[in-house]
């Protein structure tokens, strides 16, 4: 028991002293001291009578959040919440955990009665053995999940794993809440990228903590799970699909019926060196690397590298986006 007590102390220490981008790997590594697993995930969901459940934010360990979400959409039907304790879902582990909030539930894709699509989903994502707990945070139409997965079919979770999870998991949920709150109210000193995936209508399918934090700071009255309408309108009004706000620069890439969004903290001219500032102005005037190099007495390759450094600092990919940013912050 002393080992678990020490683990809980370390979990709360990590929640207060680890940045958002490193917290998920840190917290899951701590859990491994008591429970063995191959990959894990933390999810925050919004529920609606009309649109089912939507993933608001997620943190993953040793697994791609996008691949997991994409496989879930391909193999499992849409999920709906009916009342306080019933979740209609093709995923039996999630449905059982939702019914028994605060208690860990385990399942193997080879258990009797598991449907073929559920088994295929588990095999595809290397999540053969699942342990999951659902927590209902103190807010309407929201619930969170914490999952641990094992990839081998002979590595079933046992009762001792469940006992440990029932002690540890509630503190992990709390640690995620503390970590998010600390970093939401503090200034981010270094540029951190955030990502999100949404439909063309702005319905969020996935958003990470950093992107969610940017949106709450930029739009104080924002209510998930849809992008703020003004942001979506800006993305649709330009061919570059870029939004420049006070807190972040957002670039979007369309793939079929989805938008893949990249958030980056808004930068200023102070972030550019004097040479980069001169080059940025020339790039906006659509001058070539060769022409800029001749004026500065440099090689075109040097100018190209400096241009890429400028784009990287602003979180963009080309001249058109740079022109819009410079016009915005002048």
Q: What's the pLDDT tens digit per position in 253-308?
A: 887 778 888 888 776 666 677 788 888 888 888 889 999 888 888 888 888 888 88
Contacts of 152 (CB under 8 A, 6+ apart): 128, 129
Angle value at C-alpha 90, between 156 and 207, nearest 5 degrees: 90
pLDDT at 238 over 80: no
Q: What's the pLDDT tens digit per position in 163-222?
A: 999 999 999 999 998 987 776 654 444 446 788 888 888 888 778 878 888 999 999 888
d(C-alpha 57, C-alpha 207), whole Å: 5
Which stretch of 92-96, 249-253, 319-323 has the lowest confidence by average pLDDT?
319-323
Under CATH, which architecture does the 269-329 domain have?
A: Orthogonal Bundle (1.10)
Tokens describing residue 154 = 């002979």
CATH number given to 2-185: 3.30.450.80
Contacts of 120 (CB under 8 A, 6+ apart): 75
Q: What's the pLDDT tens digit per position in 139-148?
A: 778 899 999 9
Residue extents of the structural domains in the chain: 2-185, 195-265, 269-329
């Amino acid at each position: 028991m002393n080992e678990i007590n020490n683990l809980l102390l370390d979990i709360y220490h990590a929640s207060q002293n680890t940045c958002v981008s490193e917290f998920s790997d840190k917290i899951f590594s701590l859990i491994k001291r008591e429970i063995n697993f191959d990959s894990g995930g933390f999810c925050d969901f919004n529920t609606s009578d009309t649109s089912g459940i939507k993933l608001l934010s997620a943190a993953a360990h040793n697994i791609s959040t996008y691949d997991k979400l994409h496989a879930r959409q391909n193999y499992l039907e849409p999920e709906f919440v009916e009342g306080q304790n019933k979740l209609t879902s093709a995923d039996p582990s999630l449905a059982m955990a939702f019914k028994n909030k605060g208690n860990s539930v385990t399942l193997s894709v080879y258990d009797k009665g598991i449907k073929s699509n559920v088994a295929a989903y588990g095999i595809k994502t290397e999540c053969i053995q699942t342990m999951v707990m659902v927590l209902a945070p103190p807010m309407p139409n929201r619930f969170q999940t914490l999952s641990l997965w094992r990839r081998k079919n002979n590595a079933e979770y046992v009762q001792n794993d469940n006992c440990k999870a029932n002690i540890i998991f509630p503190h992990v949920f709390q640690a995620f809440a503390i970590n998010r709150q600390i970093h939401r109210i503090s200034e981010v000193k270094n540029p951190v990228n955030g990502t999100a995936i949404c439909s063309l209508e702005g319905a969020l399918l996935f958003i990470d903590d950093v992107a969610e934090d940017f949106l709450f700071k930029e739009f104080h009255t924002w209510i998930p799970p849809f992008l703020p309408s003004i942001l979506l309108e800006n993305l649709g009004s330009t061919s570059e699909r870029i939004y420049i706000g006070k807190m972040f620069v957002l670039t979007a890439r369309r793939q079929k019926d989805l938008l893949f969004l990249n958030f980056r903290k808004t930068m200023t001219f102070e972030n550019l060196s004097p040479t980069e500032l001169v080059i940025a102005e020339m790039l906006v005037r659509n001058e070539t690397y060769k022409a800029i190099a001749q004026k500065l007495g440099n090689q075109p390759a040097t100018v190209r590298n400096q241009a890429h450094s400028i784009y990287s600092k602003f979180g963009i990919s080309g001249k058109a986006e740079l022109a819009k940013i410079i016009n915005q912050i002048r």
